[in-house]
Amino acid sequence: MVKVGEIVPDFEADAYLPEKDDIGKVKLSDYRGKWVVLAFYPADFTFVCPTELEELADYYEEFKKEGAEILSVSTDTAYVHKAWHDTSPAIKKIRYPMLADPAGKISRLFGTYIEDEGVSWRATFIIDPDGKVVHMEMHDLSIGRSAKEILRRLRASKYVREHPGQVCPASWEPGKETLEVSLDLVGKI
């Protein structure tokens, strides 16, 4: 299972590509040099999933401005993604690639696969331009994620990468103060 601080092994998957209205192959290595947000979800044509994916679609331009690509991943096929995109008003908004993982290989690589159910936990991974996981979150299927919070975490991850020796305190937003790593701060916060 890939963990924070580790380089993600390359993988390839079929994907529905909404911007082209086509099905094609996506390799993680195609995104080297960019930030990647992997959003695992259990299944198409469900309840919480479209609310999350729609919200990510609503924030997609903000992610792109940060130099990031969103890749959603479920154990459905790319054809099911296409059918969902064609029929759901929420999913119709999506322009980012929707990866197919019907054998659960990508989900197993990231430790999100639920063996007894054949689906993935809700999980988010932020991968830096070098291919290293800098953030991961996984939770129960009944709880939806916040695209705004994922974007905030991406921005914080970018900031500390670009500013060595700086760290972001709780709920940090761009423009707010950061902390400089220093023994002078120990016990004073």
Query: Residue 18 sits in a domain of what CATH number?
Result: 3.40.30.10
Looking at the 3D structure of the chain, how many domains does it have?
Answer: 1
pLDDT class for 182, splitting at 50, 70, 90? confident
Q: What share of the chain is helix, strand, coil (3-state, %, to 5)?
A: 30, 25, 40
Higher pLDDT, 189 or 149: 149
Distances (CA, A) of 126 to 131, 186, 187: 9, 29, 31
Backbone angles phi, psi at 26, to 5 degrees: -125, 130
As separate numbers, helices (DSSP H) first and strands (DSSP E) second, the chain gives 4, 11
pLDDT, average across residues 89-98: 98
Q: Is 56 exposed, middle or buried (0-12, 13-18, 19+ CB in 10 A)?
A: buried
Active site (annotated) includes residue 168 = no
Tell me if 168 is assigned to some domain. Answer: no
What is the rounded CA–CA span in Å between residue 34 and residue 187?
37
Catalytic pick among 13, 37, 38, 49:
49
Mean of pLDDT values over 156-176: 94
Would the pLDDT of 79 be above 70?
yes
Domain that holds residue 144: 12-154
Is there a domain that residue 177 lies in?
no
Residue 170, domain member (yes or no)? no
Rounded Cα distance between 86 and 65, Å, is: 27
Over residues 8-42, the pLDDT tens digits come to: 999 999 999 999 999 999 999 999 999 999 999 99
Neighbours of 147 (CB within 10 A): 23
pLDDT band at 187 (very low <50, low <70, confident <90, very high): confident
Q: Assess if residue 174 is contained within a domain.
A: no
Query: Could you tell me if residue 141 is inside a domain?
Result: yes
Q: Note the pLDDT of residue 89.
A: 97
Higher pLDDT, 178 or 4: 4
* Mean pLDDT value across the chain: 96
What is the spatial distance between Cα 108 and Cα 155, in angstroms, rounded to a whole number? Answer: 27
Provide the pLDDT for residue 37. 98
The answer to whether residue 113 is domain-embedded is: yes
pLDDT confidence of 188, banded at 50, 70, 90?
low
- In Å, the largest CA–CA distance within the chain is 57
Q: What is the pTM of this model?
A: 0.94
Distance in angstroms (rounded) separating the CA atoms of residues 160 and 133:
14
